[in-house]
A and B are shown apart, each in its own frame.
Chain A
């Protein structure tokens, strides 16, 4: 399959364009609809983080790139030239508190981690490169990362 590459200004108005392009590419790659929805969620959360925080009050671009490996992994990269932000180090939200104590926000990064099999971050020159790794799998099948954990 061909790779995915969409570059647009990092503004919320472009969210739909990115998600539609991504969804078509994933469907062309044979990904099942329920898995596409999971990836949509992870990528929306990652893109919205870039739109809101990467460039402060300034402006910039975001590049969405995707490729499928020979062993069936979908690798999706979100690249921006904003302030360095390692998503992997973001703290987990407290999911147990009551409505009154529950903080508004903080779930975006949590969803990115839950909806993918693996996330990787690297700072490359002046760019943040976030890689989401997704394996299309049947519901109920042990996630790849859990299998890795069990194997250790």
Chain B
């Protein structure tokens, strides 16, 4: 799993590539801890390069979302596709977080 961070219009965008499973979820947690420690409130998680996610990954994302929500921030998703899109849909994550086809669309709706 790889995470690349950038800012667009003051909003943090993190692009996640590869697999978030029980083995790699701690790497995501580490990146999430850095985002929280930097005082960020809003995050767009760009998931077009995400190939696979299991419940361990969803647990990590939920923990990050709870931390941002506590400071009145939020996490939204952009570019979900394939298997991960299905996982987000059936777990209800797509609905409770908000998911957009592109980063541009997510930025407009923040």
Residue on A nearest B56 in the bound complex, by CB: A48
Contact between B54 and A96, CB atoms less than 8 A apart: no
Tell me, yes or no, whether B65 is within 8 Å of chain A by CB: yes
Contact between A40 and B96, CB atoms less than 8 A apart: no
Instruction: Quote the shortest CB–CB distance from A53 to chain B (angstroms).
Output: 13
Contact between A107 and B69, CB atoms less than 8 A apart: no
Residue on A nearest B75 in the bound complex, by CB: A99
Instruction: Quote the shortest CB–CB distance from B90 to chain A (angstroms).
Output: 5
Instruction: Quote the shortest CB–CB distance from A133 to chain B (angstroms).
Output: 19
Tell me, yes or no, whether A12 is within 8 Å of chain B by CB: yes
Chain A residues with Cβ below 8 Å from B65 are 99
Tell me, yes or no, whether B58 is within 8 Å of chain A by CB: yes
Contact between A44 and B54, CB atoms less than 8 A apart: yes
Chain B residues with Cβ below 8 Å from A38 are 83
Contact between B83 and A41, CB atoms less than 8 A apart: yes
A95–B91 Cα gap in the complex (Å)? Answer: 6
B45-83 CB mask vs A (1 if < 8 Å, else 0) is 000000010111011001101100100000000000011
Contact between A99 and B62, CB atoms less than 8 A apart: yes
Contact between A111 and B87, CB atoms less than 8 A apart: yes
Residue on A nearest B63 in the bound complex, by CB: A104
A4–B75 Cα gap in the complex (Å)? Answer: 41
Contact between A15 and B66, CB atoms less than 8 A apart: no
A139–B56 Cα gap in the complex (Å)? Answer: 25
Tell me, yes or no, whether A105 is within 8 Å of chain B by CB: yes
Contacts A37-B83, A95-B91, A105-B59 hold; do A100 and B22 have CB atoms under 8 A apart?
Answer: no
Residue on A nearest B23 in the bound complex, by CB: A15
Q: Which of B23, B54, B63 contacts A45 (CB 8 A)?
A: B54
Contact between A102 and B96, CB atoms less than 8 A apart: yes
Q: List 24 A-B contacts (CB under 8 A).
A: A12-B22, A13-B23, A19-B21, A34-B83, A37-B52, A37-B82, A37-B83, A38-B83, A41-B54, A41-B87, A48-B22, A95-B91, A99-B62, A99-B65, A99-B69, A102-B96, A104-B59, A104-B66, A105-B55, A107-B55, A107-B59, A107-B91, A111-B55, A111-B90
